[in-house]
Structure 1
Amino acid sequence: MTLFSIAKKNIVQNLNNYFLYFASMIFSIVIYFTFVSLKYDHTIQATSEGSPKISSAFSGAAFVLMIFVAIFIWYSNSFFTRKRKKEVGLYSLLGVRKRQIGRMLFYENFIMGIVALIIGIALGSVLSKVFVSILMKVMGYEALVHFSVSNSAIINTVIVFGVITLITSFQGYRLIYRFKLIDLFRADKEGEKEPKASFIIALFSVLLIGLGYWIATQNLLTSQVWHTLGFMIAPLVILGSVILGTYLLFSTLTVYLLKISRNHKKSYWKGINLIGTSQLLYRIKGNARTLTIIAVLSATTLTAVGTAYSLYYNNKSTVKKVDPNSMTFISPNENVTKKVKEIILKDKNHDISNHFSLQTLIVDEAATDNYQKEYTLLSNSDFNKLAKIQDRNESLSLKTNEAVVLDPFYMEGISPKYSDSTVLKVKNHDEKLKINEMKKYSVLNLYTAYSPIVVSDELFKKVEKELRPVNMEVYNISNEDDAKQLTKEIKSIMPEKAAFSSFYADYSAGIESSGLLIFMGGFLGLVFLVATGSIIYFKQLTEAHSDKGRYEILHKIGVNKKEMRKTIAKQVLFVFALPLLVGIAHCAVALSALSNLLQTSLVTPVVICIGVYACIYIVYYFLTVNAYYKIVTNRK
């Protein structure tokens, strides 16, 4: 029997233990191959107006995925090599040379890598059409029928994962040279010391995380802390304090809390709780680094996916703030205005809900506190008509020099400070405005009428002869989010000076960019989730093999299997729940800060993302409990 055949036999016999590792590799290869295929696909580039953006986005995503998968495979492979120390020691005791054992381990990992690569590319080729349809759907395009597998994508994937497989295979080859024979046999019997708990360091971990949270939730435009640290240093301080605090949380605070729980004799001595608590206590410090990585990675994944989904989810409401009307433009001449109306009336898919013509005034120079820019003046009566059309249930009654500013994206620290010192620069004199209030919405489309100010009818008539009059046309139509052809037809006859803006144009652009983000974020997030879940699974299986003898003794002295399973479930739940809860907390703070910055609610999309993430994690939890139980009870 050759070493190669022994390696194949070992893989088949240990397929249960290798399954998740193998499945995770295949899943990663499928996603990587899909990203690279989409990058090279000419049909997608022809369909989307932003094809260079798609190509560069997928290149970046593929690179991030490649780095992560390489680390994951390396990390996972180290678990399996560590787990097989005794087996390697037995081969050495039987007289097999180290070089031969190393070659056998090399063959095992290389075979799995090559098989995973073949299956991954095959599945990727089959599923690519489905993934393309998903991408086109979320980007607002019609699903494509034709899709060809790119040879460049296959070559790229083979090279990348071939190199990764070779490197990790050599890692297994080097295992035999790193340990003495006695160390290999005593690998599972190495004693673990009870970790020390420090109340001061435990408290320090909470303070560090609290510091990071506090800085993150400050208004970065007005906060003195952000101003002092600077926009480059502050994020590094947040990351450093949160990551270090998380590590100390797992390595010290959890030890401290477990020791406190051990002092509660009633619960500690109930059933075999002392076994589970003791095992967690002795191993938690050794697992601190792994749990920290998983918590930080979970937080990063949830934040990225949550942000992408939030942009997609809130796209319509965000665009509605920018474009409260279906179409708005400055009338260049009567012929164009008349032709636009004819085009809309002729279109059978869209009815005119309302059409409104109004006159506005352009202030070339209006000065507020240390700020100057162009404003669009809107009369009180026209504002009330537009507000009624848009179902705002609000009307104004301005007198003399009273005014109201409309600023849907007002941000303290960036937007101008509107006050009684606002002055209109008209030709022959200055008009001082009394700003009554600032409303965080507009009744005119942003691109056509930038920075509107509502003034009284009296003031509007007073300065009308001294300022540039601008005639605007406002249309609201049915099915405004599905007006591609109509928008294209109207835009084709519009001169640039008309400043034509439409709800559909901005809505479709938002769907395209946010759809691309959610596609990449969703699939990358799934890869990260599968990898982190697998890492915990491998870690627990390694510990299960170490605990096998202890559970056999417990069974012999009368502990039933139901009680053993209950203890295992509690022990594994602690390891799974801890990084997940900490990751969710980190994500909640990050998205809360982002929500304040974007001035929009992210609660619904974020809760949906966390729910999906937690559900998949729960599946991994039950798989781990089941596998752990089978190992310690010798069940097949």
Structure 2
Amino acid sequence: MTLFDLAVKNIRRNMKSYSLYIGSMVFSILIYFTFVTLKFSDEMFTEASSSTLVSTLMNISSVMLIIFVAIFIAYSNSFFMKKRKKEMGLYSLLGVRKKQIGFLLFFENMMIGLFSLVVGIILGFFASKGLLAILIKLMGLELVSSFTLSGAAVRQTLLVFIVIFLFTSLQGYYVIYKFKLIDLFHAEKKGEDLPKAKFITALLGVLFIGAGYYLAAQDIITSKAWMALGILTTPLIIVLLVVVGTYLLFHSVTVFVLSKLKNNERWAWRGLNLMTVSQMLYRIRGNAKTLTLIAILSATTITAGGAVFGLYYNIGKDTQKYAPNTLMWQGNAIDIQSDAIIYNESLMVKNEDLTIFKNEYNYSFVTLSQYNNIASLQGKEVLSLSGNNVYVIDAYYDERFSRAYTGEEMLVGEEKYMVKDFTSDAIFNTPAMFVTVVVADEVFEKLEGEQQVYQLVEMEDEKNQLAVSKQIESQLDENSSFSSYPETYHASVQSFGALLFAGSFLGLVFLMAMGSIIYFKMITEAEEDRSKYEILYKVGVNNKEMKKTIRAQVGLIFGIPLIVGIVHSMFALKAFSMLLSLDIVVPVVIWIVVYSLIYAIYYVLTVSYFNKTIRQKI
């Protein structure tokens, strides 16, 4: 039997262990191939406004994916090597030279890698049309995706992953030279360092995470802590506190809590609780670094995905805030041939230099009657003003760093005006008009500023009036201050849609890798625990009780990093929400639920494999 034949036999024999690893690699290759295909897609380049965005985004996403996949493959190979060191030791004991064992491992890794690569590209070819259709839908483009194979995408995918597989296969080849025979036979007994749980380290873990949460929950603009630490320095401090705190959480806090439970005799001697807690103490301490990594990656994935989904979810609301009219421009009226017009109004505006807050500005002035007319057409409240009282509209007002206008004195030339009230709820588009002052009609007549005319058009189904918008824009000059709801909306949809697409599939790759890592850990521990469960079965513990214990053990290993990651992400997303004044509760909840459901699939697979492994002995 040749080394190649033996490698094939070993892969078949270990297929249960390799299956999830191969599945994760195939999916990663599929996504990478899709990203590269989109980068070279002719359909995307026919849409000039989106071609550069998609190409740049896919380049960045591809690089991130390569780095992550390379680390994942290297980690997985080290796991499989550790799992099979006893087997390698047996080969060595039988007289097989290390060089031959190294070649055997090299062949196995290369075969698995090349098989995954071929399958990933084939599936990517068939999936790329569907994924391209998803991207087109998310970006709101009107394109027809074609079913073509990109030669450039195939070549780039082959080159990148063959290099990765060669590197990781050589890693497997050389690792055999690092160990003595005795090390190979005792490899499975070696785990990560098992730190002792101390109250002081447990307390530090809680304090570090609490400090990170406190800083993240502060308003960036008004927080004294952020000002003292520095706007650029504080996020780094938060990340450091949370990462170190998370490690200490698994290193000591959970161990401290489980130790207390173990010492509670009333609880510990109920069912198999004592055994479950004892095993969890070992596993959580032994896997502290891995669990920390998974919790941080989960938090990063949920935060990034939730933030992008939140931006995408709020596109309509945000666009409406700054473009309450479908179209607005400075200049004469244009005849629009459409049955979708709700109103088409002209607005007389005077721009005046003025002094307020002891600074000079240039604001737009409109009459009360014109304001009330537009407000009533938009279904908003009308105003009443008298004398030199004025009303200010500032769509960009933010109470955190803007002074309130109410009660302030406004000086226009020699004339003084008093701000009766103000709002950030605009009825005129920006940037066509920025800060607007509403004055009584008779006051407007006295203003000496140059009078300009603006056109305001509202249409039904405004986000789909892009053709009308472009037609109007083509008839205007560069100084018309043209503002368009459909153009702003579609620009945002294209940007955030592409980000959501890339972020979602990158997040899915990260999730599959994290699920696979826990799966690898647990199947190894299942094989180590078979003898313990065999003894329990012999002393009368039934299958139902053992399955319950297995579900609890696996559930803790899967559940704790997920819960920690979700809590981390909630504080990060709260800071993001406050910074941009966005309501992202609904999209974040949807994102977390979907993420958790996919994550739960790995839990179910792991429990199933764990049960099968245990039942082999009983």
TM-score by length of 2: 0.96
**8 Å contact 2:324–2:427 — kept in the other structure?**
yes
Cα distance in 1 for residues equivalent to 2:178 and 2:602: 32
Pick one of 354, 357, 360 that aligns with 2:343. Answer: 354
Other-structure match for 1:615: 597
**Which position in structure 1 is the counterpart of 2:272?**
272
Listed as ranges, the matches of 1:60-99 within 5 Å are 60-99=60-99
In the TM superposition, what is the alpha-carbon distance from 1:195 to its structure 2 partner? Answer: 4.8
> Could you list the per-position Cα deviations for residues 39-69 of structure 1 after superposition, in whole angstroms to 9, with x for gaps in the alignment?
1122211124131122111111111111111
* C-alpha distance in 2 between matches for 1:191 and 1:219: 43
Moved more, 166-175 or 614-623: 166-175
Question: Where does 1:224-303 land on structure 2 (aligned, <5 Å)?
Answer: 224-303=224-303
Q: Give 1:539's aligned residue.
A: 521
How far 1:209 sits from its partner (Å)? 1.1
Letter paired with 2:490: S
Q: Deviations over 1:289-344 (max 9, x none)?
A: 1111111111111111111111111101110001111111112x4xxx1xx23xx2
Segment drifting more, 507-516 vs 137-146: 137-146
Letter in 1 for 2:366: L
The residue that corresponds to 2:575 in the other structure is 593
What code does the residue aligned with 1:407 have? D
Pairing of 1:501-516 with structure 2 (within 5 A): 501-516=483-498
Structure 2 counterpart of 1:33, one-letter code? F
Q: How far, CA to CA, are the matches of 1:471 and 1:190 in structure 2? A: 79
Q: Take 1:531 and 1:452, find their aligned partners in 2: how far apart are those partners?
A: 53
Give runs of aligned pairs for residues 44-193 of structure 1, distance below 5 A. 44-189=44-189
Q: Distance in 2 between matches of 1:506 and 1:630?
A: 56
Q: 1:60 to 1:593 in 2, by over 3 A?
A: same
- Corresponding residue number in structure 2 for 1:203: 203
Q: Which runs of 5+ in 1 are unaligned?
A: none
Per the alignment, in what secondary structure is the counterpart of residue 46 of structure 2?
helix
Q: Conserved in 1, the CA contact under 8 Å of 2:73 and 2:168?
A: yes
Name the CA distance, whole Å, in 1 between partners of 2:81 and 2:342: 69
Letter in 2 for 1:22: I
Partner of 1:403: 390
Aligned pair in 2 of structure 1 residues 146, 158: CA closer, same or farther (>3 Å)? same
The answer (yes or no) to whether the contact 1:537–1:620 under 8 Å persists in 2 is yes
| Residues 272 and 567 in structure 1, CA contact (< 8 A), matched pair in contact too | yes
Contact 2:39 2:54 in 1 (8 A): yes
1:399–1:458 CA contact under 8 A, matched in 2: no
Q: Distance in 1 between matches of 2:111 and 2:131?
A: 28
Counterpart AA for 2:595: Y
Deviation at 1:38, TM superposition (A): 0.8
Q: Per the alignment, do residues 541 and 468 of structure 1 end up closer, same or farther by CA in structure 2, a change over 3 Å counting?
A: same
Name the counterpart of 2:436: 452
Cα distance in 1, alignment partners of residues 423 and 41 from structure 2: 46
**Counterparts in 2 of 1:157 and 1:475: CA distance versus 1, 3 Å:** same
Shift of 1:430: 3.4
Report what 1:382 is aligned to.
370
Contact 2:407 2:421 in 1 (8 A): no
Counterparts of 2:194 and 2:490, CA distance in 1: 59
User: Does the 8 Å contact 1:328/1:500 carry over to 2?
Assistant: yes
What does residue range 351-500 of structure 1 map to in structure 2 within 5 Å?
Answer: 351-363=340-352, 365-369=353-357, 371-392=359-380, 394-415=381-402, 418=405, 420-425=407-412, 429-463=413-447, 466-500=448-482
What does residue 25 of structure 2 align with?
25
Q: In the alignment, is the contact (CA less than 8 A) between 1:420 and 1:433 conserved in 2?
A: no
2:577 touches 2:583 (CA, 8 Å); kept in 1? Answer: yes
Work out which of the residue numbers 629, 632, 636 in structure 1 matches 2:611: 629
Q: How far 1:150 sits from its partner (Å)?
A: 2.1
Shift of 1:117: 0.6
Aligned residues: 618
Deviation larger for 402-411 or 478-487: 402-411
Offset of 1:70 from its aligned partner? 0.7
Using a 3 Å threshold, how does the CA distance of structure 1 residues 372 and 25 change in structure 2: closer, same or farther? Answer: farther
What is the alpha-carbon distance in structure 2 between the residues aligned to residue 94 and residue 445 of structure 1?
81
Deviations 1:445-502 (A, max 9, x none): 1121111122233432322xx1121212211111111112111111111122221212
Aligned partner of 1:359: which letter?
A: M
Q: Is the 8 A contact 2:348 2:453 kept in 1?
A: yes
Q: What is the distance in 1 between the residues matched to 2:492 and 2:190?
A: 57
Q: What do the CA deviations read for 1:513-535 (whole angstroms, capped 9, x no partner)?
A: 11111111111111111111111
1:202 is displaced (CA, Å) by: 1.3
Q: Contact between 2:299 and 2:568, CA under 8 Å: does it hold in 1?
A: yes
Moved more, 222-231 or 618-627: 222-231
Q: Deviations over 1:226-259 (max 9, x none)?
A: 2222222111101101111111111110000001
State the SS of the aligned residue for 1:496: coil
- C-alpha change, 1:232 and 1:272, in structure 2 (3 Å) is same
Moved more, 581-590 or 494-503: 494-503
Deviations 1:369-410 (A, max 9, x none): 354433111222222222211112x22212222222222332
Deviation at 1:587, TM superposition (A): 0.9
CA contact (8 A) 1:324 1:442 kept: yes
C-alpha separation between the residues in 2 aligned to 1:370 and 1:160? 61
CA distance in 2 between partners of 1:633 and 1:2 (Å):
35
Q: Distance in 1 between matches of 2:506 and 2:39?
A: 15
Q: Which runs of 5+ in 2 are unaligned?
A: none
Structure 1 189/59 Cα, relative in aligned 2: closer, same or farther at 3 Å?
closer
Corresponding residue for residue 554 of structure 1: 536
* Distance in structure 1 (CA, Å) of the matches to 2:13 and 2:595: 32
What is the SS of the residue equivalent to 2:49?
coil
Range that drifts further, 259-268 or 287-296: 259-268
- Once the two structures are TM-superposed, the CA of residue 555 in structure 1 deviates from its matched residue by 1.9
User: 1:435 & 1:213 partners in 2: Cα distance?
Assistant: 40
Q: CA separation in 1, counterparts of 2:120 and 2:262?
A: 47
Deviates more, 1:250-259 or 1:400-409: 400-409
SS in 1 for 2:227: helix
Matched residue SS, 2:582: coil
For 1:37 and 1:513, the matched residues in 2 are separated by: 19
Identical counterparts, % of pairs: 46
Q: TM-score, normalised by structure 1?
A: 0.94
Tell me the secondary structure at the aligned position of residue 329 of structure 2.
Answer: strand
Give per-residue Cα distances to partners, 1:93-123, cap 9 Å, x unaligned: 2111111111111111110001101111111
Rounded to whole Å, the distance in 2 between the matches of 1:195 and 1:271 is 28
Say if 1:193 and 1:282, in contact at 8 Å, map to a contact too: no
- In 1, the alpha carbon distance for the partners of 2:491 and 2:194 equals 58
**Structure 1 residues 473, 196: CA separation in 2 closer, same or farther (over 3 Å shift)?**
same
Q: 1:212 offset after TM fit, Å?
A: 1.2
CA distance in 2, matches of 1:599, 1:278: 47
Name the stretch that deviates more: 563-572 or 260-269.
260-269
